[in-house]
Chains A and B, each alone.
Chain A
Amino acid sequence: MAAHAGGLRNTAKNTAKNTAKDTAEDTAGGRATVRIEGLVRSFGERRVLDGLDLSIATGEFVALLGRSGSGKSTLLRALARLDHDVAGSGVLTAPDHVSVVFQDARLLPWKRLLDNVVLGLDGPSAEQHGKDALAEVGLAGRERAWPVELSGGEQQRVSLVRSLVREPRLLLADEPFGALDALTRIRMHALLRRLCERHRPAVLLVTHDVDEAIALADRVVVLDRGRIAADLPVDLPAPRRHGSTAYAALRGRLLGHLGVELGETAP
């Protein structure tokens, strides 16, 4: 248990040298919500992040691709300041107001839905906001349900609501739809896009699904050997159809950066 409690003890023993101040609205470098320079994170001898640079503009939606074990979660946890005992260095500027969507919905099983959504918020307006937000994702009337009574997709919707209802300036999502079936995924994509358009946070979405990245993001970056190996804008016309040549070209380039030759996937 002391481990959890220790987890809340924030800075004192933090070996990672974050210079994580809440950035003033616009830093000198432009409208950046996140600025990372020369970020290093290592586990033992292994440098998982090795001088990584990345910045995310205000309201920008960035998808992060990378092979399994390339350090995507490590980067995300650094941004969320969850990497207390990890060795590292570098400059990392991120807002204090960060929300995280985990791969598992991570609802507290002993709290009813609404209490999960407004966890850590107070005031009567929070409750109302929570209710409205639940209604927004099609869970009106379920405020008093227990998390075990929900399907996986419903739980993930609640978790999305929980992170957006606190109007974060930065939304971090680590394979939030990884555990969902294809159909629910498509619905969740539409939902996420709608919610993001409404609340306009900067988003960093970790995924290993190239199509998901293209469908959602303004920009796709690929993490490889501890650095950003590719940084490609997604400027496709509005309905991003699988069939279009621009789509196929982008998809091919991304897969190439991930080490998958197109010949292997498309015969």
Chain B
Amino acid sequence: MSTTSTTSTTGTTGTTAFGTEEAPAADAPVTTARRARPGRGRKRLGPGRPVRYGWALGPLLLLAVWAAGSGLGLFDPRSLPAPWTVAGTAGDLVAEGRLQSHLATSAQRALLGLLFGVAAGLVLALVSGLSRLGEAVIDGPVQIKRAVPSLALIPLLILWFGIGETMKVVTIALGVFVPVYIHTHNGLRTIDNRYAELAETVRLGRWAFVRHVVLPGALPGFLLGMRFAVTGAWLALVVVEQVNATSGIGYMMELARTYGQTDVILVGLVVYGLLGLVSDALVRIVERRALSWRRTLAG
């Protein structure tokens, strides 16, 4: 961003990238000097280079507002305890071992749901993307499933699977597979047909075609789907744990609600938030590594 702000002042003088403008002789040295620095003298329309640690900026700002509000007594501590109170409570919960055990349970549910959901979404997307018949069979039902929120299925799932772990994992998986399917499928269908022609002329077999063209071509879509999927997994987790559970972060929060322990609820919220943030960051790191061949605005 710094690049953009410094150049915007000079950009108005009309230096072109091609240097074809006729500048008055007196101006000439100034113009050349400016042009010697790469990219100056032209307003950049892309977002520019990434800000270092930029991802932390927003959350830290939020934290600062919260802390300032509590310190100045703007928030009622019973509705919104101060950050330090919440931190203290978190410390106590960790000391008692409760936070870890709830977190472990929650993480296990989310990961299992994610695993099954992603696998299902990926396989369905490949089948439906690689054959017309598969598409005819699979795509319709998935679109129908997409229109029904997974959470609305919970009553049915409870009847089918009881209130145990299976129901929870299935609910999460059902929420996860839709974005993975949609984005992977979209990635598959938008692979340029010209690459398929190329594959034919270099005489790739079907499997080699899938490996060298289809899968890498669909990878950006799949990873985008993954980002929705990980966030979706935590969201579904919250709900299933608050509906019917005897362990997990959601249960801990639900229990705290009945005792009016706002600070514990906030600990739960912060943990959820951190989990979401961390898992999204992980997918983004994978994305950056796997898609280093792309040069986009994201940099």
Q: Which residues from chain A sit less than 8 Å from chain B, CB to CB?
A: 1-8, 80-82, 98-100, 102, 104, 106, 108-111, 119-120, 146-148, 162, 166
Stretch at the interface among B26-34, B45-53, B97-105, B205-213: B205-213
Task: Indicate if B78 sits at the interface (CB-CB under 8 A).
Answer: no
Task: Indicate if B283 sits at the interface (CB-CB under 8 A).
Answer: no
Q: Which residues from chain B sit less than 8 Å from chain A, CB to CB?
A: 129-132, 134-135, 185, 188-189, 191, 193-204, 206, 208-209, 212-214, 216-217, 219, 291-295
Determine which of A4, A98, A119, A148 lies in contact with B193 in the assembled complex, contact meaning CB atoms within 8 Å: A4
**Chain A residue with the shortest CB-CB distance to B132:** A2
User: In the complex, what residues of A have CB within 8 A of residue B132's CB?
Assistant: 2, 6
Query: Given A108-B212, A110-B293, are A80 and B194 also a contact pair (CB < 8 Å)?
Result: no
Cβ contact within 8 Å between A109 and B129: no
A162 to chain B, nearest CB (A): 8
Determine which of B130, B194, B291, B293 lies in contact with A5 in the assembled complex, contact meaning CB atoms within 8 Å: B130
B46 to chain A, nearest CB (A): 15
A5 to chain B, nearest CB (A): 5
Chain A CB within 10 Å — which of B131, B293, B294 has the most? B293
B151 to chain A, nearest CB (A): 31
Please classify the interface of chain B as helix (H, G, I), strand (E, B), loop, or mixed, using the class held by over half of its residues.
helix
Determine which of B201, B204, B213 lies in contact with A80 in the assembled complex, contact meaning CB atoms within 8 Å: B201
Cβ contact within 8 Å between B213 and A108: yes
Q: Give the complex CA separation of A4 and B187 in angstroms.
A: 13
Cβ contact within 8 Å between B209 and A8: yes
User: In the complex, what residues of B have CB within 8 A of residue A8's CB?
Assistant: 196, 199-200, 204, 206, 209
Query: Given A82-B197, A109-B294, are A2 and B203 also a contact pair (CB < 8 Å)?
Result: no
Chain B CB within 10 Å — which of A106, A110, A147 has the most? A110
User: In the complex, what residues of B have CB within 8 A of residue A99's CB?
Assistant: 201-202
B210 to chain A, nearest CB (A): 8
Query: Given A98-B201, A109-B293, A120-B208, are A4 and B196 also a contact pair (CB < 8 Å)?
Result: yes
Known A98-B201, A110-B219, A162-B202; further 19 A-B contacts with Cβ < 8 A: A1-B129, A1-B188, A1-B189, A1-B191, A2-B135, A3-B196, A5-B196, A6-B132, A7-B193, A8-B199, A106-B194, A106-B198, A108-B195, A109-B294, A120-B202, A120-B204, A120-B212, A148-B293, A148-B294
